[in-house]
Amino acid sequence: MTLRFDGKVAIVTGAGNGLGRSHALELAKRGARVVVNDLGASVDGAGRASSLAEQVAEEIRVLGGEALASTASVTDWVAVQEMVVATLERFGRVDILVNNAGILRDKSFAKMDIDDFKLVLDVHLMGAVHCSKAVWDIMRKQQYGRIVMTTSSSGLYGNFGQSNYSAAKMALVGLMQTLAIEGAKSNIRVNCLAPTAATRMTEGLIPAEHLALLAPEAATPALIALVGEDAPTRAILCAGAGGFERAYVSLTRGIYIAPAPDCAEQVSARLEEISDREEETVPESGAAQTLLELGKAFAARAA
Ligand SMILES: NC(=O)c1ccc[n+]([C@@H]2O[C@H](COP(=O)([O-])OP(=O)(O)OC[C@H]3O[C@@H](n4cnc5c(N)ncnc54)[C@H](O)[C@@H]3O)[C@@H](O)[C@H]2O)c1
């Protein structure tokens, strides 16, 4: 079945370039009316090229779609709320939010300034918080919403020189986990996309022979699947070069050790057993994980 978005309204942040532009164009081709948000910043977040969002909005119109440009910085809570008000005035609803805007300030942790750490957190994490918060009540009232956080393999697995970016990207996974739980009763589904694409952000990082394979358009199908009517919720999809995978924050079965003065020594000695992945699960929530631990303690007491 073709995934269509007729009648749906999508906001895509950072849609002036790279992945966001690809997502916005694909959503529009599939019938969505799209708000193209982009501050027009350079890769490190400096500057403003305010015509960028309008250029992509115009590309959508040329294709026969409907688009509205927004130059709000996702770091600006007031501007983000104004963007959502403008979306409602123009299109009457918001169904889909793609939190994609992002910057890089790479340096080894030893050399990184605290300000570079904070700025990267502000754009990726607080940017997504602002946009999600601004649409949350609208989605709750209409009992429909699809939100995607753009995470990264750098957050999920780490990368040299990206402590700020990794922390921000993994924070988005945590935000997704809880918003998915809180949004479930309102039919708001929240997922993460970890894309890999040759964009200006990865210029110089991706070898020339891989550039063609890693077109942003190769990651966009995963985004489309995450915002459709039948989208999953709490999924972390990785996508790049035609590869699609799902990442999980999983939990091993683990063991129970009764309180004892040598408990730390026992944990140390039995680390392999604790780490055994044979019966790994993905708990439904943090509280569910706590219940699993309590279950072990009760079982040991009853034995
Ligand atoms: N390219 C990759 O391989 C890759 C890998 C993992 C994650 N990502 C993530 O995907 C997203 C898109 O990255 P990209 O590679 O297309 O980069 P990009 O630099 O081409 O696009 C990012 C866009 O975000 C905009 N932006 C920056 N700060 C903003 C702000 N405060 N408000 C609004 N817009 C702002 C920029 O102007 C730019 O157009 C980012 O979140 C990035 O971290 C990319």
The contacts of residue 201 (CB under 8 Å, 6+ apart) are 18, 43, 102, 104
Residue among 12, 19, 173 whose CB has most ligand 1 atoms within 8 A, to mutate: 19
102 lines ligand 1 (CB under 6 A): yes
Statement: residue 215 has pLDDT above 90: yes
The structure tokens listed for 281 are 């699960």
Write down the pTM of the prediction: 0.98
| pLDDT at residue 209, as a whole number | 87
Cβ proximity of 107 and 19 under 8 Å: no
Q: Which atom of ligand 1 is nearest to the CA of 153?
A: 6
The contacts of residue 68 (CB under 8 Å, 6+ apart) are 33, 34, 35, 36, 57, 86, 87, 90, 91
Statement: residue 165 has pLDDT above 90: yes
| pLDDT at residue 50, as a whole number | 81
Cα(234) to centroid of ligand 1, in Å? 22
Give residue-wise pLDDT tens across range 106-126: 999 999 999 999 999 999 999
19 lines ligand 1 (CB under 6 A): yes
| pLDDT at residue 246, as a whole number | 98
Cα(196) to centroid of ligand 1, in Å? 11
Give residue-wise pLDDT tens across range 224-242: 999 999 999 999 999 999 9
Cα–chain center distance at 14:
13
C-alpha distances (whole Å) from 56 to each of 38, 71, 90, 204 are 10, 12, 17, 25
24 lines ligand 1 (CB under 6 A): no
Give residue-wise pLDDT tens across range 251-282: 999 999 999 999 999 999 999 999 999 999 99
Asked if 144 is an active-site residue, the reply is no
Give the mean pLDDT of 201-222: 91
Mean pLDDT of the chain: 97
The residue contributing the CA closest to ligand 1 atom 32 is 73
What is 9-247's CATH superfamily? NAD(P)-binding Rossmann-like Domain (3.40.50.720)
Nearest to 250 by CA among 278, 231, 222, 291: 278
Statement: residue 77 has pLDDT above 90: yes
Q: Which atom of ligand 1 is nearest to the CA of 123?
A: 31
236 lines ligand 1 (CB under 6 A): no
Nearest to 226 by CA among 133, 151, 126: 151
14 lines ligand 1 (CB under 6 A): yes
9: confidence class by pLDDT, cuts 50, 70, 90? very high
Give residue-wise pLDDT tens across range 121-159: 999 999 999 999 999 999 999 999 999 999 999 999 999
- In this structure, the chain runs to a length of 303
Give residue-wise pLDDT tens across range 169-206: 999 999 999 999 999 999 999 999 999 999 999 888 88
Give the mean pLDDT of 6-35: 98
197 lines ligand 1 (CB under 6 A): yes
53: confidence class by pLDDT, cuts 50, 70, 90? very high
Domain with CATH 3.40.50.720 in the chain: 9-247
Cα(261) to centroid of ligand 1, in Å? 50
Cα(72) to centroid of ligand 1, in Å? 14
Statement: residue 49 has pLDDT above 90: no
* C-alpha–C-alpha distance, residues 216 and 198, integer Å: 7
